[in-house]
Amino acid sequence: QLQESGPGLVKPSQTLSLTCTVSGDPIARGGYYWTWIRQHPGKGLEWIGNIFYPGTTYHNPSLKSRVIISVDTSKNQFSLRLNSVTAADTAVYFCARVPYSGAYHFDYWGQGTLVIV
């Protein structure tokens, strides 16, 4: 199971910070891509980025260098930081998992959390 958490309201120009708590699979075991995806109001989904434990990250080029994804194995969580937010970053944010190296789909998702800028 995956569960997102974090502030529902962020001021423009500040940093959006979200955490995804993973249950049932130790992140430190490796082999998975831990992923952030978002859905703008009334729009489709947008892939934000992944982290492949222990720390290789990938992000959507459209978000340039504003994205930081990290892992905290002591809490079995991974996190998203999105800098310099604007109203365009208002969205429901989902965390998800790519199930194994060599897979390219997302088998488990959180329910999502709404962030308003």
Residue numbers of the site for another protein (CB under 8 A)?
Answer: 2, 37, 43-47, 50, 58, 60-62, 94, 96, 103-112
C-beta closer to another protein: residue 29 or 105: 105
Smallest separation (angstroms) from another protein to the CB of 50: 7
C-beta closer to another protein: residue 76 or 109: 109
Smallest separation (angstroms) from another protein to the CB of 1: 9
Structure tokens at 4: 């997102």
Alpha-carbon span 5 to 96, nearest angstrom = 13
Smallest separation (angstroms) from another protein to the CB of 22: 13
Q: Is 78 helix (H, G, I), strand (E, B) or coil?
A: strand
Alpha-carbon span 109 to 112, nearest angstrom = 8
> 72 with 79: CB under 8 angstroms?
yes
